[in-house]
Amino acid sequence: MTKAECEHCVLDALKAGYRLIDTAQSYFNEEEVGSAIKKSGIPREEIFLTTKVWIEHYGYENARQSVLESMKKLQTDYLDLVLLHQPFGDTYGAWRALEDLYEEGKVRAIGISNFYVDRMVEFVNFNRIKPMITQMEVHIFNQQKQLKEYADKYNVQLEAWAPFGEGRGNTFENEVVKAIGDKYGKTAAQVMLRWNLQRGVVVIPKSTHYERMVENINVFDFELTNEEMNTLAGLDTATSSFFSHQDPAMVEWFVKMVEERKKNNRSEKEKKNW
């Protein structure tokens, strides 16, 4: 979500009844999110606010300082949840920083994002404080069944980014999903959200349109049957609609992106100082 549309959209979402806001350092809109929360007049304690630490801020000191900077941008003295955004670089150093911030009360929950099931199990077992949330691409075509199984085993809450797969593979036009929706007078989007909720998965659907925000939150007045849940489970291809973090070429892409961003940030700082 761009800076220009972010503040307006967050205000719309809060108006529609949403109370969980998910942002990240890499989205470059924390200031706008903080401004919207302040303008909304809604008490801070009624809002669950999440941000994520970006790779270039990994390592203990960098991660700690970046979270404190995020808090300033978001105009808050605590964060409800902070995630490590990607599974690359000095993740353990960054995690130690989150553990300390958690114990200091500055962060109320800590977790990981885009860590595949093997890395999640590793992080659960080799840290002082285990992740409380694991955020991953989860939708009807990439259901993350094994990740869900192990998250449940270790009492880690699974949270779905892109719960619609951003429409890739025609999720909104899928005939199976639409037929189930027709039965309840619901859209395909509402069926997909309800399906994940009944699996015990937290969903964070993104929309810039107020009417869709209202639609997406209107999913608590119907319930899918076991047969319907099993039918939707059969749509799984166990394949990402975006990219694989286990693909070495993708890892190289992330490395280049981080270096480019560091270079751009240095250039911006030099311009300001000049």
SS3 146: helix
At residue 60, does pLDDT exceed 90? yes
* 193 pLDDT more than 70: yes
* Nearest-angstrom CA–CA distance, 203 and 194: 9
For the annotated catalytic residues, the residue numbers are 27
Is the model's pLDDT at 211 over the cut of 90? Answer: yes
pLDDT of the residue at 265: 73
> Would you list the DSSP string of 76-133?
-S-BSEEEE--S-SSHHHHHHHHHHHHHTTSBS-EEEES--HHHHHHHHHSSSS--SE
Residues 72-85 pLDDT 10s: 999 999 999 999 99
Position 258 scores a pLDDT of 87
The reported pLDDT for the residue numbered 266 is 66
Q: 3 vs 56, which has greater pLDDT?
A: 56
pLDDT class of 269 with cuts at 50, 70, 90: low
- Mind listing the pLDDT tens digit for each residue in 134-144? 999 999 999 99
Question: Cβ neighbours of residue 230 under 8 Å, at least 6 residues apart?
Answer: none
The yes-or-no verdict on residue 95 having pLDDT over 70 is: yes
Contact between 111 and 154 under an 8 Å Cβ cutoff? The reply is no
CA gap 65, 197 in Å, rounded: 35
Mean pLDDT for all residues in the chain: 95
Report the share of the chain in percent with pLDDT over 70. Answer: 97
Q: Quick one: pLDDT band at residue 274, thresholds 50, 70, 90?
A: low
CA atoms of 187 and 171, how far apart (whole Å):
11
Using the predicted structure, report yes or no on whether residue 267 has a pLDDT greater than 80. Answer: no
Q: Residue 247's pLDDT band (boundaries 50, 70, 90)? A: very high
Beta bridge pairs of residue 268? none
Q: Is the pLDDT of residue 231 over 60?
A: yes
pLDDT of 262: 80
pLDDT tens readout for residues 137-187: 999 999 999 999 999 999 999 999 999 999 999 999 999 999 999 999 999
Is residue 272 over pLDDT 60?
A: no
CA distances from 44 to 39, 69, 159, 203, 260 (A): 11, 18, 22, 21, 35
Per-residue pLDDT band for 3 (boundaries 50, 70, 90) equals: confident
